[in-house]
């Protein structure tokens, strides 16, 4: 019994000693938490370069002019001088019509003019002789006045018949159908011997050089588009070709909320074809020396956009930025010097002052 009591007393003493040792440890050592691990992120350094501000749209290749050729009067096709799909020059003969009646009318009008000229010449000779006789007082003044009136009437008749000759020559010229411009002809709808009327479509001539690209841009871009156009030629690219903006509509379509524009391109090799869809890119201005960062680095918040910048002590801070122009996966921004380390990945775990372990994005 005494032995058991001694063992119990010894255990109690050990317990009291252990408790005293525990409570004698400073409280400060027990309250210090372990340091959090560094957050692993990816960073990039901004690129400083000139950034063109480009507006993109899907456009349609459109010919600058299309002419439907018709005859001026009912006639018969005598000869077709072209093939379907042929390229023609301005003034090139395309169709010849039956011109027999036209040539006869021209010859008749020419004969009338020759007769008027002969009659006028005779009257002028008589008038000159009458003036000589009047100087010698061999004839009366009224006779001279009468001849002068006849000469004036003959001259007026000659001018009228000369005008009539020009009119029939114009009519006769309609028998030769020529290309009004350089371009490509479409389907030929008539053949030698075909009876044609004013309503008959002979062929369509389409100008392919230069050629236009028509497209629309959102009304939000109208301001910078007009500002660029007022400064000079606005560069437009389409189908790996460079052109210039040639037309801005005078109003915005209120239904679509867009404005129609056109650009002109050289197309001597006919690589751009009417009706073709192309990707049009309009360069309205260039941001000189812009700071370019990945769009993935930009964080949107109610207070505005910002990025996380790594300080020298490997902590991060928020730096407000303003997106000037976005293109693809990148954006030109203001608010940065261009030599910072910008966090691109892992930013969702960050807060200002957090310590990071930076890698390279």
Report the SS3 class of residue 290: strand
Indicate whether 158 belongs to any domain.
yes
Helix axes 100-135 and 141-173, enclosed angle (nearest 10): 160
How many whole angstroms separate alpha carbon 344 and alpha carbon 74? Answer: 77
Q: Are 193 and 159 within one domain?
A: no
Q: Are 211 and 276 within one domain?
A: yes
Indicate whether 352 belongs to any domain.
yes
Q: Are 146 and 107 within one domain?
A: yes
Indicate whether 10 belongs to any domain.
no
Q: Are 149 and 213 within one domain?
A: no
Indicate whether 232 belongs to any domain.
yes
Q: Are 280 and 152 within one domain?
A: no
Residuewise pLDDT in 10s, the chain (361 residues): 444 554 445 455 545 444 445 444 454 445 556 666 777 888 889 999 999 888 899 999 999 899 999 998 899 999 999 999 999 999 999 999 998 888 999 999 999 999 989 998 988 888 888 887 777 777 788 887 888 888 889 899 999 999 999 999 988 888 999 999 999 999 998 999 999 999 999 999 999 999 999 999 999 888 888 988 888 888 999 988 899 999 999 999 999 899 999 999 999 888 899 999 999 999 988 889 999 999 989 998 888 899 999 888 888 899 999 998 888 899 999 999 888 889 888 878 788 888 887 555 5
Q: Are 136 and 242 within one domain?
A: no
Q: Are 201 and 86 within one domain?
A: yes
Q: Are 91 and 184 within one domain?
A: yes
Indicate whether 108 belongs to any domain.
yes
Indicate whether 144 belongs to any domain.
yes
Contact predicate 196/74, CB 8 Å: yes
Q: Are 211 and 271 within one domain?
A: yes
Q: Phi and psi of 146, rounded to 5°? A: -65, -45
Q: In a 10 Å sphere around its CB, with 0-12 CB exposed, 13-18 middle and 19+ buried, how is residue 347 labelled?
A: buried
Q: What is the CATH number of the domain that holds 233?
A: 2.40.30.170
Domain with 236 in it: 55-64+207-287
Indicate whether 249 belongs to any domain.
yes
Tokens for 42?
Answer: 């990816």
Q: Are 216 and 264 within one domain?
A: yes
Q: Are 82 and 202 within one domain?
A: yes
Shortest CA distance to 47 belongs to which of 311, 327, 290, 318? 290
Residue where a domain stops, chosen among 253, 269, 287: 287
Structural domain count, the chain: 4
Residue where a domain stops, chosen among 228, 261, 287: 287
Indicate whether 7 belongs to any domain.
no
Residue where a domain stops, chosen among 174, 194, 221: 174
Q: Are 113 and 134 within one domain?
A: yes
């Amino acid at each position: 019994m005494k032995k058991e009591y001694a063992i119990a007393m010894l255990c109690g003493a050990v317990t009291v000693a252990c408790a005293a040792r525990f409570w004698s440890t400073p409280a400060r050592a027990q309250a210090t938490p372990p340091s959090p691990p560094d957050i692993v992120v990816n960073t990039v350094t901004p690129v400083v370069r000139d950034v063109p501000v480009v507006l993109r749209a899907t456009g349609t290749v459109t010919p600058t002019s299309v002419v439907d050729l018709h005859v001026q009067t009912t006639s018969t096709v005598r000869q077709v001088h072209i093939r379907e799909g042929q390229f023609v020059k301005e003034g090139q003969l395309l169709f010849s019509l039956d011109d027999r009646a036209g040539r006869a009318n021209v010859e008749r009008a020419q004969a009338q003019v020759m007769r008027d000229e002969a009659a006028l010449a005779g009257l002028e000779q008589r008038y000159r002789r009458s003036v000589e006789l009047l100087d010698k007082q061999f004839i009366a003044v009224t006779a001279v006045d009468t001849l002068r009136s006849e000469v004036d009437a003959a001259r007026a008749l000659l001018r009228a018949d000369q005008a009539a000759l020009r009119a029939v020559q114009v009519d006769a010229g309609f028998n030769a159908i020529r290309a009004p411009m350089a371009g490509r002809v479409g389907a030929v709808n008539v053949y030698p011997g075909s009876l044609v009327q004013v309503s008959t479509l002979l062929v369509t001539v389409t100008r392919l050089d230069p050629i236009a690209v028509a497209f629309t841009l959102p009304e939000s871009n109208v301001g910078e588009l007009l500002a660029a156009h007022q400064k000079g030629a606005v560069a437009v690219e389409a189908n790996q070709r460079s052109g210039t903006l040639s037309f801005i509509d005078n109003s915005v379509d209120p239904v679509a909320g867009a404005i129609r524009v056109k650009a002109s391109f050289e197309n001597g090799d006919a690589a751009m074809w009417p009706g073709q869809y192309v990707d049009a890119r309009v360069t309205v201005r260039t941001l000189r020396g812009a700071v370019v960062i990945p769009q993935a680095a930009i964080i949107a918040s109610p207070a505005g956009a910002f990025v996380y910048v790594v300080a020298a002590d490997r902590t991060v801070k928020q730096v407000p930025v303003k997106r000037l122009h976005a293109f693809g996966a990148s954006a030109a921004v203001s608010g940065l010097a261009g030599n910072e380390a910008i966090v691109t990945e892992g930013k969702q775990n960050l807060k200002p002052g957090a310590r990071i372990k930076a890698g390279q994005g």
